[in-house]
Chains A and B, each alone.
Chain A
Amino acid sequence: MDAAPAVAVALAGATYVYPGSSAGVRDIDLEIASGEMLVCIGPSGCGKTTLLRLIAGFVKPQAGSIRLGGRDVTGADARSRECGIVFQSYALFPHMTVRDNVGYALRVRGVAGGERAKRAGRMLELVGLSAYADRLPAALSGGQQQRVALARALVFEPRALLLDEPLSALDAATRVAMRDEIRRIQRERAIATLLITHDQDEALSLADRIAVMREGRLVQVDTPQAIYDAPASGFIAGFVGRANVLDATVAGADAVDTPVGRLVTRVHGREAGAKVAVLIRPERVEPVGDRETGDNLLAVAIERDRFFGATRALDARIGASRLAIETSSRAPVRRVRIARDAIQFLDPVPPSKEAT
C-alpha cells in the first residue's frame, strides 16, 4: 500500500477579511500534499489572491491556522515562511542581472558568491536560460522573464511554491508552452504548489486538484475531471467549461421536463414533481441526421456559429430556450441528441435514495 503523501500546506478554518470591507476569505480548510499542484480558480474578487497572500504571510489570518511542512506559521512573517512566490508582474529586480535575480534569495541568506553563482546557474539550466545569465530582465521576453521568476522562487528550495496568475501577462501561444514548462519543473522539484488563475483551461490542464472559490469560500476541491464531470453546483458547472444548466422538474422514474423539452434520463430516486437543476455539457449535445431515431432528439435553429478550427461552438434555439453546442462536425446542424448519461443533476441525491 502506498504511503499517504505528506501534507506540505494545511489551512484550517483560515479567515481573513480586509478591514473596512467584506472582501476576503472565510473558513478555508485546504491541504496541499508534497509534490501536488493545486490550482485555485474563481471569478474576480472571489478571494484567490487573498488565499495566496495568507499562505505567503503577506496577511495574517484573523481566525484559523496555517501550517507549512507541519510547522505552525500562522503568526510568522513572509520571510520566515520560506515560500517561493511568482508574482503576476514577475517583480524581477530590473537593476540586477538574471543570475543575480535568481541568486538573490541565496545572497540574503549569506551564501558565498561562488556557491551562489553555481546554484543560480543550476536553476537557470533547469529553466533553460543559462545563456541569458548576464542579461538584465528588460532584455528578455515575457516568457523568459517568467522563467527567471520561477527559477528565483525555487533556488532556495522553498517549502511551497505559490504562483499568482503567472501566465496572465503572456500571449496565448507562449502561455500554452509555459504551462507545460511550469508543470515539468514543478514535477521535477516535487514541490507543493498553489497556482492562482482565472483561466479554466490553465486550471484543467495543470492541476492535480482544482479548488474553486466563490465569494471568499471554497465551494469545491477535487480533481479536474471530477470538477468538470460532476460539478457541485450550477455556478461551478458554468465557471469550469461551458455549460447548459437547465431548471427542470422530475417527470417520473426516468425523465425530466426541461425548457428544451422532456429528456429521458435516470432520476436516481428523485420524487416526481421535484424541482431540480440539470447540467448538459455542450460537447455532449450531439448533432444528428434527419433520419436518426431514439430518445432525447431535439430540433434546433442555429442562431450563432463560431468556428475555432478543431471545433465549432453553436448557440441553438429550441422554442424559447437556448442550448450551447460544441461539435467537430462541419455539417449544418438541424437536430441534436442528448445522451441519457449526458444529463447530470446538480442538486445532491437525497441520502435515502442514493442506492436507488
Chain B
Amino acid sequence: MLLVAPAGALFALFFAVPLAVLAVDALGEGGTAFARVFALPTFWPSLGGSLVLTLVAATLSTAVGLAVAVHLASMSERRRTLLSFVIALPLTFSGLIVAYGFILGWGRAGFFTQIVAALGADAAVIGKALFTPTGLAFASSYYLIPRVVMALLPVLVNFDRAQLVAAESLGATRAQAFRQVLLPQIAAPVAGAACLVAAVVFGAYGTALALVGTQLRILPLQLYSLVSETGSDFPAAAALALLITAACSAMMTAGEWFGSRHERHLAN
C-alpha cells in the first residue's frame, strides 16, 4: 500500500482532481455547456477533422509499425536492441521539433517537396497537403509508429516463428503464411496498438499547433481556441475537454480489451 501511495497521489493530483474540476465546471449550468459546444459552428467540422486524422494516422502507423516490428523480430537480439533504440528516439522529441522538421522537409519550400516538384508534381499542392488532417496524420505517424513498434515487438519476438517456416514448407507463400498464420494470432495486439495510437493522436495538439496554428479544424485545437481566446466560454471548454477525454478513454479501453483478449488466448 505504501509503495503505491506516491503513484496514487500523482494520479489524484494530475488526473482525478483536474478531471473533477472540469466536470464541475462543465456540468455547473445544468449541462448547457455541452449544448453550446455542439452548437459551435466549428465543432462538427473539427470532429470530422479529428476522425479523419485519427483514422488515417492510426491506420498508417499501425501498418508501418507492424511491418517494422515483424522485421525487427526476425533480427538477432543485438541488432534488434540497437535498432529499437533508434526507432524509439522520436518518442523523446517534442511536438514542436517534429512539426518544424516536417515543415523543413514537406512544407511549400521543403526539401522533399522541391525534389518531388522537380519530378513534375505541384509544389503548392504538396506543401498545402501537410496542413490538412491527412497531412497532419502523416506527420503524427512519425511519433506514433515507434509506439506501435514498441507495443508489438514483444508479441512478435515471442511468436513461434517455426509456424511460419512450417507454413512455407507446406506450400504457403510468405504472404499466405503472414495472412493465414501470423496475422490471426496477433490480431488482438495489433488492434490494441491501433487503439492506443488512435487515442494518442485524437487528443494530441502540440504538433498540430506548431505545424498549422489553430487554422486546422480538429477538436484539440478547437479546445485550445476556446481556452486561449479572450472572453472565453470556460464551461464550454471544460465540456469539450471532457468529451475529448471520454473519446480517448473509450479508445484506450478498447485497446485494453484487445490486449486482455490476447493474454487470455495465451493462457489457454
Q: Are B185 and A95 in contact (CB under 8 A)?
A: yes
**Distance (Å) between the CB of B179 and the closest chain A CB?**
11
Given the complex, which residues of A lie within 8 Å of B64, measured CB to CB?
none
Q: Give the distance in Å from the alpha carbon of A107 to the alpha carbon of B171 in the complex.
A: 9
Query: How far does the alpha carbon of A309 sit from the alpha carbon of B155 in the complex, in Å?
Result: 47
Given A79-B173, A108-B176: A91 in contact with B168 (beta carbons within 8 A):
no
Report yes or no: B162 in contact with A104, Cβ–Cβ below 8 A.
no
A330 at the interface (CB under 8 A from B): no
Residues on B with beta carbons closer than 8 Å to the beta carbon of A104: 167, 170, 172, 180
With A91-B160, A93-B163, A138-B268 known to touch, is A83 a contact of B181 (CB < 8 Å)? Answer: no
Assess the A79–B166 pair: CB atoms within 8 A: no
Q: Does A94 interact with chain B (Cβ within 8 Å)?
A: yes
Contact status A105-B170, CB under 8 Å = yes
Asked whether A89 and B170 contact (CB < 8 A) given A95-B185, A108-B176, A138-B268, the answer is: no
B166 touches A156 (CB 8 A): no
* Cβ contact within 8 Å between A108 and B171: yes
B185-A83 in contact (CB<8A): no
Interface: B6 (CB within 8 A):
no
The residues of A with any CB-CB pair to B shorter than 8 Å are 56-58, 77-79, 81-85, 87, 89, 91-95, 104-105, 107-109, 138, 152-153, 156
A224 to B180, CA, bound (A): 42
- A150 to chain B minimum Cβ distance, whole angstroms, is 13
Interface presence of B158 (CB below 8 A): no
CB distance from B249 to the nearest CB of A (A): 30
- Known A-B contacts A94-B185, A95-B184; A78 and B168 likewise in contact (beta carbons under 8 Å): yes
Which residues on B sit within 8 Å (CB–CB) of A94?
185
**What is the total number of residues of chain B having a CB less than 8 Å from a CB of chain A?**
18
Q: What residue of chain B has the Cβ atom nearest to residue A139's Cβ?
A: B268
Once the chains are docked, how many angstroms separate the CA of A83 from the CA of B170? 8
Tell me which of A81, A82, A85 contacts B166 (CB under 8 A). A85
Q: Could you tell me the distance in whole angstroms from the C-beta of A56 to the nearest C-beta in chain B?
A: 6
Q: Which residues of B contact A58 (CB under 8 A)?
A: 165, 169
Cβ of B163: which chain A residues have Cβ within 8 Å of it? 91-93
Q: Please, which residues of chain B bring their CB within 8 A of the CB of A77? A: 168
Nearest Cβ distance between residue A273 and chain B, in whole angstroms? 55
User: Which residues on the B side are within 8 Å of A79 (C-beta)?
Assistant: 168-173
Q: Are A156 and B185 in contact (CB under 8 A)?
A: no
Q: Which residues of B contact A78 (CB under 8 A)?
A: 165, 168-169
Which chain B residue lies CB-closest to A95? B184
Nearest Cβ distance between residue A341 and chain B, in whole angstroms? 47
Chain A residues contacting B176 (CB-CB under 8 Å) are: 108
In angstroms, Cα B172 to Cα A82, docked, is: 11
Among A89, A95, A109: residue with most chain B CB under 10 A:
A95
- Across the interface, A108 reaches (CB within 8 A) one of B160, B165, B170, namely B170
Residues of chain B lying within 8 A (CB to CB) of residue A156: 170-171
Q: Please give the distance in Å from B129's CB to the nearest CB on chain A.
A: 40
6 contacts between A and B (CB under 8 A): A82-B171, A85-B166, A91-B165, A93-B167, A108-B172, A138-B268
List residues 229-248 of chain B with CB under 8 A from any CB of chain A: none
In the complex, which residue of chain A has the Cβ closest to the Cβ of B172? A108
B121-153 CB mask vs A (1 if < 8 Å, else 0) is 000000000000000000000000000000000
